[in-house]
């Protein structure tokens, strides 16, 4: 049941179907669009968040998960 509800807010190649990861990737893509990047899809929406969410939903946005391959402890920055 959660997979069905979560399907609208999931990245296609994300094995965990994390809504949180979807939101982070879409937010970063929306910021890129606000700063002048060209959209990957033709769109009639003037809202970069709508465009970004659709691009992420279709798997057009590449992202890197620092915790997937590496040690989660390495992803945490420490103050020196």
Average pLDDT over residues 75-79: 40
């798997």: which residue's tokens? 59
pLDDT digits (tens, 9 = 90+) for 24-60: 999 999 999 999 999 999 988 899 999 999 999 999 9
Cα–chain-centroid distance for residue 13? 11
Q: Tokens in use for 38?
A: 């060209």
- pTM score of the predicted model: 0.70
Q: What is the mean pLDDT of the chain?
A: 77
Spell out the domains of the chain, with CATH numbers in brackets: 2-62 (3.90.940.10)
Cα–chain-centroid distance for residue 55? 9
- 13: number of Cβ within 10 Å: 8
Give me the percent of the chain exceeding a pLDDT of 70.
Answer: 71
3-state helix, strand, coil split of the chain in percent (to 5) is 50, 0, 50
């Amino acid at each position: 049941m959660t997979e069905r509800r979560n399907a609208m807010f999931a990245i296609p190649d994300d094995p965990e179907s994390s809504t949180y990861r979807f939101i982070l990737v879409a937010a970063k893509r929306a910021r890129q669009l606000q700063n002048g990047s060209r959209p990957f899809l033709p769109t009639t929406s003037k809202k970069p968040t709508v465009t970004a969410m659709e691009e992420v939903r279709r798997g057009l946005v590449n992202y890197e998960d620092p915790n997937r391959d590496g040690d989660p402890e390495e992803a945490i920055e420490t103050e020196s």
